[in-house]
Structure 1
Amino acid sequence: MQLQTRTLPAPAGVSAPSRASRPLRLLTFTTLYPNAAQPNHGVFVENRLRHLVAGGEATSTVLAPVPWFPSASPRFGDWARYATIPLREERHGLVLHHPRFLAPPRLGMFTGPAALYVAARAALRRLLAEGHRFDLIDAHYLYPDGVAAVRLGREFGLPVVITARGSDTSQLPHFRLPGRAIRHAIAEADALIAVSAGLKAGLVELGAPEEKVTVLRNGVDLDTFRLAPSPEVARAALGLGPKHETGPLLLSVGHLIERKGHHHIIAALPQLPRHTLLVLGDGPERAALRDLAERLGVADRVRLLGSQPHDRLSLYYGAADAMVLASSREGWANVLLESMACGTPVVASPAWGSREAVRAPEAGLVMDEITPEAIAACVRQLLAAPPSRAATRAYAEGFGWDETTAGQASLFRKVLA
């Protein structure tokens, strides 16, 4: 594989040949990372990094900037939580730094790269002054994070690998200024990672040479997401009541925003009598989803349960008869693998990565289009002859993290070779 490389001096006190034999020293740079106030934010980035570090191939210091906000008063709503995030914290043995950057409402899309760069530059200088040394910047999301990362890489003499994850490839490039900056970041990065083959095709369309993009899918934690003793046991643990009261139980998981498509699933319920829908997640569309359910006369069968702790999700997956993903855009939807690892088959939208994750009958079905009619038809088809939970779990076991972890380490070392 041909990769862009830079000739870099060996870090202080370390000879160049020893780099191949010691763990890689990563600076993981992203705004998509969990923190004390947002424990589920970007958890997919944390999970991938945790498995890489646990394998002994790398160490990492996480630089995860957050928007500056002056007050933690609840009257400021969601913005107030940013004021409560510590400047430094530890999660799962990894040290996280949270420098603040300015993110003016409605202007953040345009000011983001520069604001991130200024905040991260100062933080990185402090880390280096304290004696930290890094081999490579492991950046996530092309815009604004990846754009700022390549500027940091140039200034500090570090190669940069950017992982693209979905809307940074499918949506943001359509805006003039972000699109130009994204294409520049693609050109400047030493290597790119796509979480699905479909996402790689999107990067190539944006100008990335094929040999510069490595596909490393997300995995699933098979210990966290596991089979419940039975759906009835999971239902009882959640206080959901027996199946003869709720009917078939559908689950939708994700931020309550338009592109996640929860409204399509609610709109399908009039065609699915007696089915109950659980929606896990928070976001600005909550009131609109509740209003839609009331207008359609299905409010008694829709439960908006808010965001749930990551390690509690397996109970919900285990209680459900099917998980429905109606997103219009996804790079690789982690919820698909999480559900299948708990033995629950899925009905998935044709977003990037879906057909790569759902490749067999025991996994579930992929819709040809995202409409209430298509959702209802696929749910009926799936539940008319559902696979065994053991078969769905066995399918998911082919998507552990080992392959992705090995792929990351190999790619990073090729960049540094």
Structure 2
Amino acid sequence: MLRVLTLSTLFPDASRPNFGVFVERQTLGLAARPDVALTVVAGIGVPPWPLSRHPRYRQFAAVPTHETWKGVEVLRPRFTVLPGTAGRFHAPALLRAVRRGIRGREFDVIDASFFFPDGPVAIALGRERGIPVSIKARGADIHHWGHAAATARQVRDAGLAADGLLAVSRAMADDIAALGIPAEKVKVHHTGVDLARFAPVDRLTAKAALGVAGPLVVSVGALIPRKGHDVVIDAVARLDGVTLLIAGEGEARGALEAQIARAGVGDRVRLLGAVPHAQLPALIAAADVMALASVSEGLANVWVEALACGTPIVVPPVGGAPEVVTAPSAGRIVPREAGPFAAAIADLLGAPLPAEVVRAHALGFTWEANTVALYAHLAGLVQTRG
């Protein structure tokens, strides 16, 4: 029996059901193995009172500190995040909380599913307990925390000390190496997609259910500047008769609403708000194109989910995009500007691709393969230490 401690500050809870669903799915796959005993510690950062009373944090009060989540034991200790410190003290605070939560429990390996703050915490716990540590890089944990002045050294030191490292794409692995961490320590561990749920449907029927007639573009991602929804809105504004539906919520909603009003496209560009992950397949499969103009990504799950639905994608040359868009039948990789995005979307709308041809590009991304690779990686670290 392999006893795994999974650390992840990127994990869903009752107040944030869409938060880190890809980490959840990876974890559930590993936990389902009969030869694995897995405990998740998903720390929740909360600022000191009275900031803790802000609606953004007050919602966490109802989240249990210990529960069974979809059949897996999950501990959710709170740790203090100090405003104005740029994350410098996140890891020490989380470490104290995790220590309390796992006191008296024994593990064989620690799986940190996000590089920061989970990575430095995993290293400290691994040293204390004499067990191996794996850390996975997904995107912002390297692109932001790995370069921010307050946290870059913590990220680099954790990567150097880890027994093994995982990256969601080859590009992500290169970004880790660029921090001064040996490239040979890093394995590429692709995300998976549920091919049974994310599958082609009759588009006309699916569009009708959404109240859409004519060409449809969908974008999925938090309403934050980094996701580049403003670029896609400007692109679609140039394409007469094309509808854009954006699934996500976040701080940029007001700015995007104002942009839509200025462009005069409120009749065909809609912000849907947070859409439950269970409802995403129907939305994405209805679309003729999925467009996401992110500033940075590791390997976005929604790219692969769209392909599995038979929906081609338009994305910038970021992260693992070339590992997903390997042929024109998967979509287009274009500069992160409204003009190139509009041209690529128009190109795909003008020459529709058979859904099964597009879907073929997703068939190599399965959760089954993800689970097998993760188990082999973690078990191998234990054997090497043993």
Instruction: Say whether the fold is shared (TM-score over 0.5).
Output: yes
In structure 2, C-alpha distance between the alignment counterparts of 1:210 and 1:67, rounded to whole Å: 31
Q: How does 1:207-246 map to 2 (within 5 A)?
A: 207-228=180-201, 230-238=202-210, 240-241=211-212, 243=213
In structure 2, C-alpha distance between the alignment counterparts of 1:395 and 1:250, rounded to whole Å: 19
How far residue 70 of structure 1 moved from its aligned partner, in angstroms, is: 8.1
**Residue in structure 2 matched with residue 400 of structure 1 by the alignment:** 366
Match of 1:184 among 157, 175, 182: 157
Q: 1:67 to 1:49 in 2, by over 3 A?
A: same
Q: Which amino acid aligns with 1:80?
A: R
1:107-151, Cα deviation, whole Å (9 max, x unpaired): 3512211111111111111xx2xxx42111100222211112111
1:341-398, Cα deviation, whole Å (9 max, x unpaired): 111111112110111011123221111x100011101101111112111222233222
Unaligned runs of 5+ in 2: none
How far residue 77 of structure 1 moved from its aligned partner, in angstroms, is: 2.5
In structure 1, C-alpha distance between the alignment counterparts of 2:209 and 2:91, rounded to whole Å: 45
Match of 2:3 among 25, 34, 39: 25
CA contact (8 A) 1:72 1:81 kept: no
Match of 1:294 among 261, 269, 275: 261
How far residue 166 of structure 1 moved from its aligned partner, in angstroms, is: 0.8
**Residue in structure 2 matched with residue 361 of structure 1 by the alignment:** 328
**Residue in structure 1 matched with residue 379 of structure 2 by the alignment:** 413
In structure 1, C-alpha distance between the alignment counterparts of 2:163 and 2:51, rounded to whole Å: 43
**Residue in structure 1 matched with residue 319 of structure 2 by the alignment:** 352
**Residue in structure 2 matched with residue 40 of structure 1 by the alignment:** 18
In structure 2, C-alpha distance between the alignment counterparts of 1:225 and 1:74, rounded to whole Å: 38
CA contact (8 A) 1:256 1:283 kept: yes
In structure 1, C-alpha distance between the alignment counterparts of 2:50 and 2:215, rounded to whole Å: 42
CA contact (8 A) 1:72 1:82 kept: no
In structure 2, C-alpha distance between the alignment counterparts of 1:49 and 1:193, rounded to whole Å: 14
**Residue in structure 1 matched with residue 249 of structure 2 by the alignment:** 282
In structure 2, C-alpha distance between the alignment counterparts of 1:73 and 1:388, rounded to whole Å: 52
Q: Which amino acid aligns with 1:235?
A: K
Match of 1:273 among 230, 233, 240: 240
How far residue 267 of structure 1 moved from its aligned partner, in angstroms, is: 1.4
CA contact (8 A) 1:69 1:80 kept: no
Q: 1:403 to 1:72 in 2, by over 3 A?
A: farther
CA contact (8 A) 2:46 2:57 kept: no
SS in 1 for 2:5: strand
Provide the alpha-carbon RMSD of the alignment: 1.9
1:266-321, Cα deviation, whole Å (9 max, x unpaired): 11123111111101011000000000111122222211111111111011011111
How far residue 227 of structure 1 moved from its aligned partner, in angstroms, is: 2.1
**Residue in structure 2 matched with residue 374 of structure 1 by the alignment:** 340
**Residue in structure 2 matched with residue 82 of structure 1 by the alignment:** 60
SS in 1 for 2:107: coil
1:242-267, Cα deviation, whole Å (9 max, x unpaired): x2xxx311111011110100011111
How far residue 153 of structure 1 moved from its aligned partner, in angstroms, is: 1.4
CA contact (8 A) 2:138 2:298 kept: yes
Provide the TM-score with structure 1 as the length reference.
Answer: 0.88
Q: 1:121 to 1:73 in 2, by over 3 A?
A: closer
Match of 1:315 among 272, 282, 285: 282
Whether 1:119 and 2:92 are equivalent positions in the alignment is: no
Q: Which amino acid aligns with 2:209?
A: A
**Residue in structure 1 matched with residue 174 of structure 2 by the alignment:** 201
How far residue 224 of structure 1 moved from its aligned partner, in angstroms, is: 2.2
SS in 1 for 2:218: strand
How far residue 331 of structure 1 moved from its aligned partner, in angstroms, is: 0.5
In structure 1, C-alpha distance between the alignment counterparts of 2:217 and 2:333, rounded to whole Å: 16
In structure 2, C-alpha distance between the alignment counterparts of 1:404 and 1:237, rounded to whole Å: 33
Identity rate, percent: 41
**Residue in structure 1 matched with residue 137 of structure 2 by the alignment:** 164
In structure 2, C-alpha distance between the alignment counterparts of 1:80 and 1:36, rounded to whole Å: 13
Aligned length: 383
Q: 1:298 to 1:320 in 2, by over 3 A?
A: same
In structure 2, C-alpha distance between the alignment counterparts of 1:401 and 1:358, rounded to whole Å: 19
How far residue 105 of structure 1 moved from its aligned partner, in angstroms, is: 3.0
In structure 2, C-alpha distance between the alignment counterparts of 1:194 and 1:356, rounded to whole Å: 13
Whether 1:259 and 2:232 are equivalent positions in the alignment is: no
Q: 1:147 to 1:392 in 2, by over 3 A?
A: same
Provide the TM-score with structure 2 as the length reference.
Answer: 0.94
